[in-house]
Structure 1
Amino acid sequence: MNTSPSVHHASPLQPGAQAPDFTLPATPDQTMSLSELRGAPVVLAFYPADWSPVCSDELGLFNAALDMFKHYEAQLVAISVDSAWSHAAFSTQRGYHFPMLADFEPKGAVARSYGVYRAAEGVSERALFVIDGAGFVRWSDVSPISINPGVDGVLDALQRLAPTTQQVLS
């Protein structure tokens, strides 16, 4: 019996954990590291695959919410196991305005380090992490693959990180 947390029911990093640093392709010829974003909150959105209907809806919703994330000085970063070339085409076609990182090779290495890789399917969970400016996980959530989790949980977590701005979005 395989009891690995990466099979279907991932065990994501919990609040208080140090977020593992990574460097992944952001475009076919550029990379981005989590450590480059230190000093401000980061929203990591792991998703299963480019071009799938639920992923398209989820990332479209996040794209529409970018001004709300920016209010908290938070950077949204999406990650899947697809290639940088697939991300480039997907992002251009959908009009996304945030980095999409390729956890392509070694496949799912970053998703594994966050406890959200689905080894049986070779994709990541639909998982969200809010990381504070010091690099610690402050909130995490794993949703069923077929469900768009929306942005409310992320916005609540960002609001808790910035108590002086609580009333602005109310």
Structure 2
Amino acid sequence: MQLTQATEPLAPSLEESLVDIVVGSTQLNRLAGVLGDIDLPHAVMRALGTLDEYGPLRISDFARIDRCSQPAATTLIGRLTEAGLATRTKDPHDSRAVVVTLTPAGRDRLAAARTGLGSSLAAHLPDFDPARLARLQQDLNDLVEALKAVTTTRR
């Protein structure tokens, strides 16, 4: 009779952990859309967030970052400019190109939507440990900054 020794489960690989984090972030984002009290369409919120994070962008760069087609980016940016949330100006380095910039109204609208999102999600998690959320936020920020550093060196 051979006795088998119980073994601890193997820790997930770096790749598996990163996939799980990306999938979890996507699920959290979808749940936030369902549970959050936001009156902005997801695409508009995402576009405002992209312009807030990256600053002024050419439409082609916006499309690459947002992973959409240039015609889709042009349509979305058109909606933002019509609403006064972004402006389109000629690229000073290439008169054929357009640069899109978040307006103060766009920045305010994004901040208000994010605040509303945080408030409505917090209402669904009244007993969730704030210190745990703070650790999660810090870990996520560290991961994002590490990936941004790699992205910057690859360009």
User: Do both proteins adopt the same fold according to a TM-score greater than 0.5, normalized to the shorter chain?
Assistant: no
What is the TM-score of this pair, normalised by structure 1?
0.27
Whichever structure has more helix as a proportion of its residues is 2
Length-normalised TM-score, structure 2: 0.28
**Larger-gyration structure (1/2):** 2
